[in-house]
């Protein structure tokens, strides 16, 4: 398994390093997105790669783009990543990169919640609603919501956390028509994905989509889609309400970090080898469970 902590593609202009992905310009209308093996927990990037994690994430995204392509167009171009880099850089992109249409990002993230957990649960406990959407009384932590909720968030500047906004605020930022379209498509995407995942024993508790506009103003799904990094996946067989179910993939890392006296700010503590190994195995299990196929290495 070739592992990649940070890419270094010299033949293309670097657009930036995200926490997990490295982005490069391909001409002026496309981007190369390389998913590395970096792992972030509590929003801090760990120092060790989880070998193969980037491939798993990339292949999960590809899987969903294909499966959900009938609902909305997406940013994939079909151009092989190997064809846009130099010969000695091919190893860095194999199985873990896409060449995408460079879109104009819509500066609102589309969060869909099927279950009440995380910041949604905190919000509900304090206000009886999530992001201003009123909910029935008596919901339990991690309970399935009566119907999926669309809770937009304003895209944060680098290093800041995304900020939940009301739907009315979203309308005033991007226009009512586009806001409604984004909401309706996001709910459709989530519902189709959650229904499929249920047949594979996986609960998709919530997820975040990003959209962009092409040169004709057509809305496209972009970024990563329904990966373990952008969603909460729970194994259905151990799911129960009244607790925060362990996430499918980061459970060992989070559990380990919780045993430490660490302030959850950078720098990250070193991860022991067995935590890395178990985490890697979880990612491989996740892609297999989801797609029914082993990771294509
Ligand atoms: N097809 C696309 N066209 C234009 N921008 C895109 C496209 N796909 C993704 N992006 C944007 O590229 C940016 C970089 O992505 P990335 O996720 O690597 O970093 P980040 O969002 O800054 O950090 P992180 O997600 O690690 O917290 C994001 O703002 C994302 O919305
Ligand atoms: Mg991102």
Mutate-to-test residue for ligand 1 from 44, 61, 162, 223, highest number of ligand atoms within 8 A of CB = 223
Paired residues of 30 in beta bridges: 26, 101
223 Cα–ligand 1 center, Å: 6
Each residue of 50-105: pLDDT tens digit? 999 999 999 999 999 999 999 999 999 999 999 999 999 999 999 999 999 999 99
pLDDT tens digit sequence for 104-157: 999 999 999 999 999 899 999 999 999 999 999 999 999 999 999 999 999 977
Q: Which residues is 264 bridged to in the sheet?
A: none
User: How far, in Å, CA of 20 to CA of 250, rounded?
Assistant: 14
Q: 139 C-alpha to center of ligand 2: Å?
A: 31
Q: Is residue 295 part of a domain?
A: no
Is 270 within a domain? no
90 occurs within a structural domain: yes
Q: Strand pairing partners for 112?
A: 150, 207
Are 121 and 199 within one domain?
yes
Let me know whether 76 and 124 are in one domain: no
The H or E element that residue 26 is part of is strand 21-26
Q: Is 162 helix (H, G, I), strand (E, B) or coil?
A: coil
Q: Are residues 96 and 170 in the same domain?
A: no
Same domain, 157 and 192: yes
Any domain includes 225 = yes
For residue 137, being part of any structural domain is answered with yes
On whether both 78 and 148 belong to a single domain, the answer is: no
Residue 50 lies in domain? 14-102
Whether 290 is covered by a domain: the verdict is: no
Number of domains in the chain: 2
The CATH number assigned to the domain holding 113 equals 3.30.470.20
Long-range residue pairs from 125-133, CB within 8 A, at least 24 positions apart, any chain: 131/164, 131/165, 131/166, 132/166, 132/167
């Amino acid at each position: 398994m070739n592992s990649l902590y940070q890419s270094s593609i010299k033949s293309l202009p670097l657009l930036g390093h995200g926490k997990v992905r490295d982005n490069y310009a391909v001409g002026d209308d496309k981007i190369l997105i390389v998913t590395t093996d970096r792992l972030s927990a509590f929003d801090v990037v760990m120092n060790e790669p989880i070998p193969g994690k980037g491939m798993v994430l990339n292949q999960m995204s590809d899987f969903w783009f294909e499966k959900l392509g009938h609902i909305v167009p997406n940013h994939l171009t079909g151009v092989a990543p190997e064809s846009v880099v130099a010969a000695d850089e091919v190893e860095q992109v194999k199985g873990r990169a896409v060449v995408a249409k460079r879109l104009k990002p819509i500066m609102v993230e589309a969060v869909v919640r099927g279950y009440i957990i995380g910041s949604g649960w905190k919000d509900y406990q304090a206000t009886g609603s999530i992001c201003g959407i009123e909910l029935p009384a008596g919901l339990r932590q991690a309970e399935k919501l009566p119907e999926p909720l669309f809770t937009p968030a304003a895209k944060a500047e680098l290093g800041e956390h995304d900020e939940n906004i009301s739907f009315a605020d979203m309308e005033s930022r991007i226009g009512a028509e586009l806001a409604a379209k984004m909401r309706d498509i996001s709910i459709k995407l989530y519902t189709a994905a959650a229904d499929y995942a249920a047949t594979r024993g996986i609960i998709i508790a919530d997820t975040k989509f990003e959209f962009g506009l092409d040169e004709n103003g057509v809305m496209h799904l972009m970024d990563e889609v329904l990966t373990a990094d952008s969603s909460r996946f729970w194994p259905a067989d151990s799911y129960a309400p009244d607790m925060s179910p362990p996430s499918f993939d980061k459970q060992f890392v989070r559990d380990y970090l919780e045993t430490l006296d660490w302030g959850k700010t950078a720098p990250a503590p070193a991860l022991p080898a067995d935590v890395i190994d178990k985490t890697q195995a979880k990612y491989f299990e996740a892609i297999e469970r989801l797609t029914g196929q082993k990771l294509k290495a």
